[in-house]
Amino acid sequence: MQSVTVNSKVSNSKQTSKNHPSSDKRFKVLDITMKRNQYHQDALIEILHKAQEVFGYLEEDVLLYIAQGLKLPPSRVYGVATFYHLFSLKPSGEHTCVVCLGTACYVKGAAELLATLEKDIKLYPKETTPDGKVSLMTARCIGACGIAPAAVFDGEVCGKQTSSEVLEKVNGWLQE
C-alpha cells in the first residue's frame, strides 16, 4: 500500500496547490478547473461540482480554498454549497472513507471495494454507520490514477487498495 499524508488545513498565504500545505493532488485539479474558468466568479457552481467530484464532499477548507481562488467571500461560497441539495457538505461520521470511482480506479476494481463494504458492514455510499463512526463517500478521480484503485481515509490518500485493506481500516474505526 502506498500512502500520502494529507494536511487539509488551508494556510493564509496565496492559495495555489503549489504552496498548499498538503501534497494533495486534488487541490491541483481544483486549480486547473479555476484557471480554465479564468477564475470567473460566475463559474462557482461548476467549480463546486468539480470539487465534489474529486473530494467526494465539500469540506470547509475546500470551500475556503475556492473562495480565495475566486476572490469571493467565504459566506457566499458556503451559502451556494448549502443551498443546492446536489452538494454534500462534510459527512456526519467521526471518520470518512472516500472510494474513488473514476475510470482508472473503476477498471482496477473500485466497485469491489464498495461491494465489500456493503456486504460485510452494510455501509453504503453517502451513508454513515448507525453508531456515527464512519461515513462512506465516493469521488470521481482524485488525481491518484497511478496508484489505482485509490481511497482516502480521513484525508490520507491510499493507493492500490484491496477489499480486505479497506475492510480492515473501516473495521478498525468501528472498533475504536
Binding footprint of ligand FES on the chain (CB under 6 A): 100, 102-105, 141-145, 148, 150
The smaller minimum CB distance to ligand FES, of residues 44 and 56, is found at: 56
Q: What is the bridge-based pairing of β-strands 156-158 and 3-4?
A: antiparallel
Output the smallest distance, CB 109 to ligand FES, in A.
11
The smaller minimum CB distance to ligand FES, of residues 70 and 158, is found at: 158
Output the smallest distance, CB 69 to ligand FES, in A.
22
Residues with Cβ within 8 Å of 24's Cβ and at least 6 positions away in sequence, in order, are 4, 6, 8, 17, 155, 157
The smaller minimum CB distance to ligand FES, of residues 34 and 110, is found at: 110
| Residue among 90, 92, 64 at smallest CA distance from 78 | 64
Residues with Cβ within 8 Å of 108's Cβ and at least 6 positions away in sequence, in order, are 148, 149
Output the smallest distance, CB 114 to ligand FES, in A.
13
The smaller minimum CB distance to ligand FES, of residues 99 and 170, is found at: 99
Output the smallest distance, CB 102 to ligand FES, in A.
2
Surface-to-core class of residue 163, CB atoms within 10 Å of its CB (0-12 exposed, 13-18 middle, 19+ buried): middle
